[in-house]
Amino acid sequence: MIVGEQTQMMPDEFWVFIEKLDWPVLADPLSNIRGNVPQSAKSLIIDSYDALLKSERFKETVIPDAVIRVGPQPVSKPLSLFLAAVKPETYVVFDESSMLRDPQSVATHHIQAAEKDLWQVSMENKSTNAYREKWTQASHLYWQVVEQHCQNELDEGVLAKVLFDRLDQCDLIVSSSMPIRDVDTYFQTTERDIMLYANRGANGIDGVVSTAFGVQAAKQRPAYLYIGDLSFLHDMNGLIASKMQETDLTIVIMNNDGGGIFSYLPQSQEERYFEELFGTPTGLTFSDAANMYDAQYVSAETVEQFAAALDEPKTKSVKMIEVFTNRENNVTTHRKLWSRFDEELAKG
């Protein structure tokens, strides 16, 4: 089962349904089933599927006969490629939208209906499910590798996990490109009260700062924005909202001086034009922007500094934490994590 973007907290009926179903539930970062998770359902939520499906040996062991997808298509490219390759015999898309969101053309059924209707389907409790246990065990192994990785390495993902592990009773707004992918890689299922939102439009860089202020105004509780330097620069004047309305927003800017996502793509090997056309470094930092909008400002480069910055008491309605990272190191360290995990899977 795959759960795409959900903007509301799942009802109790959902958790009862998946516990009876006893299938692995692949949770998109925006599914909002990685937070507020009952202890009894934790083993069913596969939050590491993006990393798991980068492993060729793992994919060969979990080819599904049937898939139910609820809501929009998830952000994960490895998941999309996996489904397109295996073409499940039954692939049901259960979506309130009348638009069949199926870019890989693998869906066999499209049911336009309210998702709450699905949770009402009656079924008996299942006995042990060997297929689901493959996912659960691999996911457990993955998080063991992540914990070890975070003790020995430093990159944006390791720093992002420091943020994710501290959040509670708040909303997290996530920018596109690497931030949303770091959520997929490093945000572990938790019972803590965290709701996730993102503005993923035709161009995901648009209006992300403004979106964060809008979410905070609508939800009326503390909010965090996790964003890269280019996306922040693109909507920096969205900070004007802090002068027009009460707010409680902490902005974490991962400043790797450019567009980090492109360093993972084939064009990164084009040395002559890559930086000019894709890396697009600006050399900018944002302490002066914080001063202009009367925001609290802290900078960090290490795990310890970032943790201290997050723990520093909030003195103004907007707190900006600028974290300086390196694009080349981010690529190397992310790939090191996936390689280590694949090696551990091979041992099993």
Average pLDDT, the chain: 91
Give per-residue pLDDT as tens, 54-110: 999 999 999 999 999 999 888 899 999 999 999 999 999 999 888 888 888 999 999
Contact 180, 236 (CB under 8 A): no
pLDDT of 11: 94
pLDDT of 201: 60
pLDDT of 346: 84
Give per-residue pLDDT as tens, 254-276: 999 876 566 666 766 777 776 66
Residue 90: count of CB within 10 angstroms of its CB? 12
* Cβ neighbours of residue 145 closer than 8 Å, sequence gap 6 or more: 337, 340, 341, 344
pLDDT of 271: 73
How many Cα atoms are found within 13 Å in the side-chain-facing hemisphere of 80? Answer: 13
Give per-residue pLDDT as tens, 185-195: 999 999 999 99
C-alpha span between 108 and 257 (Å, rounded)? 44
Name the strands in the sheet holding 66-70, side by side, starting at the edge strand that comes first in the sequence: 45-46, 25-27, 2-3, 66-70, 90-95, 109-112
pLDDT < 50: residue spans in the chain? none
Q: Which of 259, 288, 239 is nearest to 156 (CA)?
A: 259
pLDDT of 198: 92
